[in-house]
Structure 1
């Protein structure tokens, strides 16, 4: 069968190729560049816990060469006063409790990962050289897409440049950025707002009073401080500083930027400390959302599908979530399983809806956050205050930053026989609890994603009992047989506890980490029916069997 054509070799396109390779799907990546990532220290990205974990599973973590850094804490200041201080563990797998602005115990906060974008792209490129990607991914440079044709069996893409030729693929995904050629060739509109925010940015090496902590300073008191300045650690004594600029202000000259740097450092440190300026830039944020994300066998992902970034939201995070959502669905369709039309349509239904909600939250918040009005009538959760809302956006929480849920997904089964409520609603991301496989392999749930569905049994005591006993005791043999009979590759795991779940609860988790359903005990036919639903198949006979089984299985 023909490979999947990926247009664009930025982080989103490379991540998609790696995610497909992990599921034995070949791809060809068409890159109009030269496969050399421009060294721009001022162009950095912040990955939330879920997207950082996704990059690590793709093989990107080991190749980062220590250039990524997790923060130890985050402080929010207004004028010269500290109003919020959160601390969290710098360990890759966890977070510590923080203190909120009232001095009480705060929520557990996962540390973001801050990394230069060229380092992330380089890490993903390096991962292409290792199995399974080495034998399944082909990157073709110096070729620009200029034509696209589709038929019932595949896609044809024509490129010009060093490789002026036609490429044949089973599907095509446009990961080619804000000026996407794929989007234009498909005739998809890209409406939205221009110049939502403007920022000046500088990467420099210096010492700040808060080692390894991010800082959000609103309305700093010094002259020329502006409305907002943020500092994020990059490791090795390097920092990225961002200044919010007036929406229609003058051009930022090098002299003006140096003056901002000196005034900011002096405001934070008392006197201007020695610093080394590494890189600078000015960028403008737009909010746009493509009308369609799928046209037959062609799809959009990343900046080709959406632009966002105001108030701490992260466009690359959403692009990687596009990839994680789409890759397993494309793989299932490529291998000829499930109902491909329903499954592939669900990509737009889930991801476009989630990004639209994020854009709507940011657009509703912008006038009041920047103008100082109240939020209660504008945005759910806005009563917590401006500083908390902005902090949540930067840290990946709340309406501006939390990982998306798909509560109305066409892949979420309704009326699940034997279903039970747990701390995670159907369609929401599962908690990253410790898990153990029947062969004794232990790790985190999130580390097992991407290779098929996960069936997780909540079994208190399995961490204490000898594995030889619990693997053949109780419901385990029956559940293992059920997992083997699923219509999709599945892996059985056990966990000591899961939020809101009683002992012997069974969770069915999608390959991208979202909960499909939870069951009170082992219900084989109901579990198979839910697996059918997440593949886009009507439950049919499996659902009828599940209804009959409910009367016989405790």
Structure 2
């Protein structure tokens, strides 16, 4: 991707975890320099942490040179199994749309993901990563943002993206941002265990009330190098050191893996939180990832959602910074990603209410559902072991042009994807010149179901292509369900902005204006 030189100050990115790394690398794709600051003295390579990377996130990482490497090193799994005690209740595999480049999920430690992204950063001259830089104060004005470091120095940037993780309470306080929500009392014990478990290497297993953790849950994920990540729900006050010393931890592990050799690679205890900030945009400052929202990990919606924050922020900062879109486009960062955070909170809160019932009525409901699910398919649909991460659908976004002939049908069954339409992520498929989503990420993409692309113009990169030329074997066309004469407008984050039936060029231009918030800016000016 080539753009005009960036003339402003670098964008400051606070935090060098995966969300901050992704933000910086994506901005570099747009030719935007970044200054990445992290308070730690160096990368801490401890434990698996977030392990479950969703297909759409691998696509994002591939756009910066990391997705294929992460996928190839990780463990691919396509089946999720759910058990009650020792009986399997159901399993499901994940639907494909088109011919995706990546599997539905890949398991790999966050530590290794960060190492691969660091290598991409080292090869990217537009990213300046600095360790040991603690930010203690932030000020902004009409021209940019100033950050004060713990050593008294000030650094200047055009914008600031806060990816500093969950423990940035002081910074949220400085910005006047609330972080509403609650925390759960039960803890969860994690162990990364290296051992040989034949037949378990390509599936996720979730156990309700197994005899080896009565009354609570256990989740098992395969990881590279014959390592398995096991999460046990444990009561408040659980003492890992005491259980290790007494031999109870060894008995806990052997209840699952049997009498075989094993090695504990990492172990930790953590507590779940469900929180979201009230604002993800504070003028020239955007909050992303755990700094903006925390959800329980059942469904792998934390890191995956944070990477989606990064992509949403990066293309919008680039378009505003280059003058291709008005400042109002940054307001839609909050509109879209805050809605995504609320969706994640709704989904994961429902899961936690089923896993850890907050009252007697819901506890009885859980027992009834799990008991009936052994024989009743209707009850199985009510078992909530965590709806796995999926891209958010921007159907209600101010940037999306609705199509009455393609109404959004609502949240699909678990493991399924919604039909292509406005607000939905573009199905991926090999096309002439590469892959569909990769082409979209170079700017706005206009796909025309016919032999002649419609003429388009507008600030920033935009291409109009005929599906007949781009997709000669029809794979992408079929995945879209495209009808003759339709024109599909796709955003730089590969989400579909509009589907237009037999449009005039002015209709396409109007959809592009809407998708860059030009109309929002005009409406705001008229109101003022």
2:343 maps to 1:357: yes
Distance 1:44 1:319, change over 3 A: closer
* Residue of structure 2 in register with 1:545 after alignment: none
- 479, 483, 487: which one pairs with 2:459? 487
The farther-off stretch of 233-242 and 193-202 is 193-202
The farther-off stretch of 298-307 and 55-64 is 55-64
Deviation of 1:138 (Å): 0.9
* Residue of structure 1 in register with 2:155 after alignment: 167
Instruction: Report SS of the residue matched to 2:12.
Output: strand
TM-score (norm 2): 0.82
Question: Superposition pairs for residues 57-456 of structure 1, below 5 Å?
Answer: 57-61=63-67, 64=70, 67-87=73-93, 94=100, 110-130=103-123, 134-161=124-151, 164-180=152-168, 181-195=170-184, 197-246=186-235, 248-253=236-241, 255=243, 259-260=248-249, 262-266=251-255, 268=256, 271-340=258-327, 342-371=328-357, 372=363, 374=365, 385=379, 390-391=384-385, 393=387, 396=388, 401-413=389-401, 423-436=419-432, 441-443=433-435, 445-456=436-447
After superposition, the C-alpha distances for 1:350-405 in whole angstroms (9 at most, x for unaligned) are: 11112112212322443344344559xxxxxxx96567764552xx3xxxx33211
* Residue of structure 2 in register with 1:98 after alignment: none
Higher-RCO chain (CA-CA 8 Å, sequence separation at least 6): 2
Distance 1:203 1:365, change over 3 A: closer
Instruction: Report SS of the residue matched to 2:150.
Output: strand
Distance 1:45 1:411, change over 3 A: same
Distance 1:539 1:315, change over 3 A: closer
CA distance in 1, matches of 2:185, 2:315: 34
Is the 8 Å Cα contact of residues 191 and 266 (structure 2) preserved in structure 1?
A: yes
Deviation of 1:66 (Å): 5.1
CA distance in 2, matches of 1:537, 1:359: 31
Deviation of 1:518 (Å): 0.8
After superposition, the C-alpha distances for 1:170-197 in whole angstroms (9 at most, x for unaligned) are: 1111111112243222121112102365
Is the 8 Å Cα contact of residues 225 and 264 (structure 1) preserved in structure 2?
A: no
- Output the aligned Cα RMSD: 3.0
The farther-off stretch of 327-336 and 192-201 is 192-201
Is the 8 Å Cα contact of residues 75 and 222 (structure 2) preserved in structure 1?
A: yes
CA distance in 1, matches of 2:224, 2:95: 16
CA distance in 1, matches of 2:495, 2:93: 27
Distance 1:229 1:415, change over 3 A: closer
| Structure 2, gaps ≥5 residues long | 1-7, 358-362, 367-376, 409-418, 523-528
Instruction: Report SS of the residue matched to 2:228.
Output: strand
After superposition, the C-alpha distances for 1:27-67 in whole angstroms (9 at most, x for unaligned) are: 11112123x32222342421111112112222223654954
CA distance in 2, matches of 1:298, 1:135: 23
Distance 1:446 1:157, change over 3 A: same
Deviation of 1:309 (Å): 2.1
TM-score (norm 1): 0.79
CA distance in 2, matches of 1:5, 1:172: 5
Deviation of 1:215 (Å): 3.3
Distance 1:452 1:339, change over 3 A: same
Deviation of 1:126 (Å): 0.7
| Structure 1, gaps ≥5 residues long | 96-108, 376-382, 460-473, 542-554
Is the 8 Å Cα contact of residues 63 and 126 (structure 1) preserved in structure 2?
A: no
Distance 1:313 1:278, change over 3 A: closer
